[in-house]
């Protein structure tokens, strides 16, 4: 019976254990987690979502405090169009996070950064270009483009000296999205080095509409593998979303995928950035405790625990400090919803906003508990301790369980009392 270790992902001349730990925004996939995946011969991701905030916590910088101070007078103003990112500071934060991570890298694997196009940051092209270029400058092994079609992203970095040597890939959820990406970039004569195909059971934002439940990963992978074969394209396809065991992974590797991208199992790793309290909430969740909702201002559906404090919260928009979701005109749909509730309840001390959430502030405070569909199975991957809590696991244990397990088995960690 085969296990994941019987396969290798070939990226250029490099042979990689075909396990990629997916990017989990705002430092849920920490540098420590990504570095473990790389040390073990796979690929780990850091994320560039709200990278200034991540730097402040990791390096005690003051990017957020300084930005808040700079735009302080605008806080009561519902027009956020003046709240911009300083591109120099954005590049500085990116370089800090990436360079420190790359310096600490050991082993044969790789560390990539996940870049979400939907972080439009009140100047979509300029800020994305600054983020991508700075990550390449700081020596990242590769970039995974996510949360968007990224039709213009390659051209933003086509003049970068590392454009053809860094590993560049994109996450898609349909063959159509991949076709569009390839067509738009045909003139660059630079194919992606890999494509991650993410199905509807993933965590974070979903690349589907309200009919997400009608789609299934194996079918989309089959369509994409067929399309690439017909077009004589041979970059690796990576399957993602709902791959919970080594055996699940093997079935994708036997059916055209060259690697798997996984995340949910690692949300309860010691190296993951989620606080203990949230990890315990993930362990305790039942299937009924998880929903896919539309409260993200990005417009994409997002899966999260129904008990996330972000749901229904009516906090003041935090754009002067963050502002990552302001579109090219300085709008965010949370601001509209927030203003509507304020107008409806002018005398209330606190309001509730149900249809949207202030994702920046809640992600920063780890109050938006986004998770994969199979979060309710995490309790089966470890021990329940005498006090009723669940034992978190080392990233190494989870990685090796994916790598070597067979027969749908999940190896429990050694019990730590």
Ligand X SMILES: Cc1cc2nc3c(=O)[nH]c(=O)nc-3n(C[C@H](O)[C@H](O)[C@H](O)COP(=O)(O)O)c2cc1C
Task: Kindly tell me which of 261 and 403 has the beta carbon lying closer to ligand X.
Answer: 261
Written as one string, the DSSP assignment of 209-239 is -TTGGG--HHHHHHHHHHHHHHTT----EEE
Q: Which of 203, 256, 318, 323 binds ligand X (CB under 6 A)?
A: 203
Q: Torsions phi, psi of 106, nearest 5?
A: -130, 160
- From residue 353 to residue 382, the character string flagging contacts with ligand X as x (rule: CB under 6 A) and all else as - is -----------------xxx-x--------
Site string for ligand X, 166-185 (x = CB under 6 A): -----x--------------
Q: Which stretch binds ligand X (CB under 6 A): 126-134, 258-266, 338-346, 409-417?
A: 258-266
Q: Which residue in the set 46, 110, 147, 249 belongs to the binding site for ligand X (CB under 6 A)? A: 147
Q: Residue 366 and residue 349: Cα distance in Å, rounded?
A: 24
Question: Contact region for ligand X (CB under 6 A) — 75-83, 148-156, 197-205, 390-398?
Answer: 197-205
- Smallest CA-to-CA distance from 323 within 8, 79, 33 is with 79
From candidates 241, 297, 318, 330, binder to ligand X by CB under 6 A = 241
- Rounded-to-integer distance, Cα 295 and Cα 347, Å: 25
- Minimum Å gap between C-beta 21 and ligand X is 8
Range in contact with ligand X (rule: CB under 6 A) among 76-84, 119-127, 256-264, 313-321:
256-264
Q: Which is nearer to ligand X, 268 or 314 (CB)?
A: 268
Instruction: Candidates 33, 35, 37, 49: give the one binding ligand X (CB under 6 A).
Output: 49
The token duo for 282 is 């993930």
Please give the structure tokens belonging to residue 255: 């059916």
Q: Which contiguous run of DSSP H or E holds residue 16?
A: strand 14-16
Strands, E assignment, 201-357:
204-205, 237-240, 259-262, 290-293, 302-305, 312-313, 352-353
Task: List residues bridging with 47 in a β-sheet.
Answer: 114
Burial class (CB in 10 A: 0-12, 13-18, 19+), 335: buried
Q: Is 393 in the site for ligand X (CB under 6 A)?
A: no
Nearest to 237 by CA among 251, 221, 248: 221
Residue with Cβ nearer ligand X (71 or 252): 252
Site track 16-45 with ligand X (rule: CB under 6 A), x = hit: ------xxxx--x-----------------
Closer to ligand X by CB, 46 or 96: give it: 46
Is 142 an interacting residue with respect to ligand X (CB under 6 A)? no
Q: Backbone phi, then psi, for 302, in 5-degree steps?
A: -140, 140
Contact by Cβ (8 Å): 270, 392: yes
Q: Copy the structure tokens of residue 33.
A: 């987690």
For residue 232, the minimal CB distance to ligand X (Å) is: 27
How distant, in Å, are the alpha carbons of 71, 340, 342, 358 from that of 347? 27, 13, 8, 21
The yes or no reply on residue 202 touching ligand X (CB under 6 A) is: yes
Please state the closest distance from residue 178 (CB atom) to ligand X, in A: 16
Which residues sit at the interface with ligand X, rule CB under 6 A?
Answer: 22-25, 28, 47, 49, 114, 116, 146-147, 171, 198, 201-204, 240-243, 261-264, 267, 370-372, 374
């Amino acid at each position: 019976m085969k296990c994941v270790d019987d396969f290798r992902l070939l990226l250029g001349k490099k042979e990689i254990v075909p396990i990629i730990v997916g990017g989990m925004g705002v430092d849920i996939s920490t540098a420590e987690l990504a570095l473990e995946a790389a040390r073990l011969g796979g690929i780990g991701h850091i994320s560039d979502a709200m990278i200034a905030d991540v730097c402040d916590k990791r390096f005690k910088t003051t990017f957020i405090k300084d930005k808040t101070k700079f735009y302080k007078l605008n806080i009561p103003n519902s027009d956020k169009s003046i709240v911009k990112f300083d591109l120099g500071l954005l590049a500085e934060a990116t370089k800090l996070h990436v360079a420190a991570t790359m310096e600490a890298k050991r082993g044969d694997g790789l560390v990539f950064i996940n870049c979400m196009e939907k972080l439009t940051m009140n100047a979509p092209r300029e800020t994305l270009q600054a983020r991508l270029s700075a990550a390449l400058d700081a020596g990242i092994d590769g970039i995974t483009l996510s949360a968007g079609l990224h039709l213009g992203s390659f051209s933003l970095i086509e003049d970068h000296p590392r454009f053809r040597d860094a590993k560049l890939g994109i996450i898609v959820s349909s063959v159509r999205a991949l076709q569009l990406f390839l067509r738009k970039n045909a003139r660059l004569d630079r194919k992606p080095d890999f494509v991650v195909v993410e199905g509807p059971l993933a965590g974070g934002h979903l690349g589907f509409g309200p009919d997400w439940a009608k789609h299934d990963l194996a079918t989309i992978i089959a369509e994409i593998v067929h399309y690439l074969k017909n077009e004589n394209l041979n970059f690796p396809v990576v399957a993602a979303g709902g791959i919970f065991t080594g055996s699940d992974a093997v079935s994708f590797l036997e059916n055209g995928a060259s690697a798997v991208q996984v995340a949910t199992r690692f949300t309860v790793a010691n190296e993951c950035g989620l606080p203990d309290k949230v990890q315990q909430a993930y362990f305790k969740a039942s299937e009924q405790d998880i929903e896919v909702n539309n409260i993200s201002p990005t417009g994409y559906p997002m899966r999260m625990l129904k008990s996330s404090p972000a749901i229904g919260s009516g906090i003041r928009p935090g754009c002067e400090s963050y502002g990552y979701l302001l579109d090219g005109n300085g709008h965010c749909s949370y601001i509209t919803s927030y203003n509507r509730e304020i107008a409806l309840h002018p005398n209330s001390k606190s309001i509730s906003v149900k249809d949207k959430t202030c994702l920046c502030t809640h992600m920063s405070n780890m109050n938006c508990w986004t998770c994969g569909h199979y979060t309710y199975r995490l309790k089966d991957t470890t021990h329940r301790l005498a006090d009723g809590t669940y034992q978190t696991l080392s990233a190494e244990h989870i990685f090796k369980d994916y790598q070597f397990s067979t027969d749908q088995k999940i190896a429990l960690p050694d019990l730590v009392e």
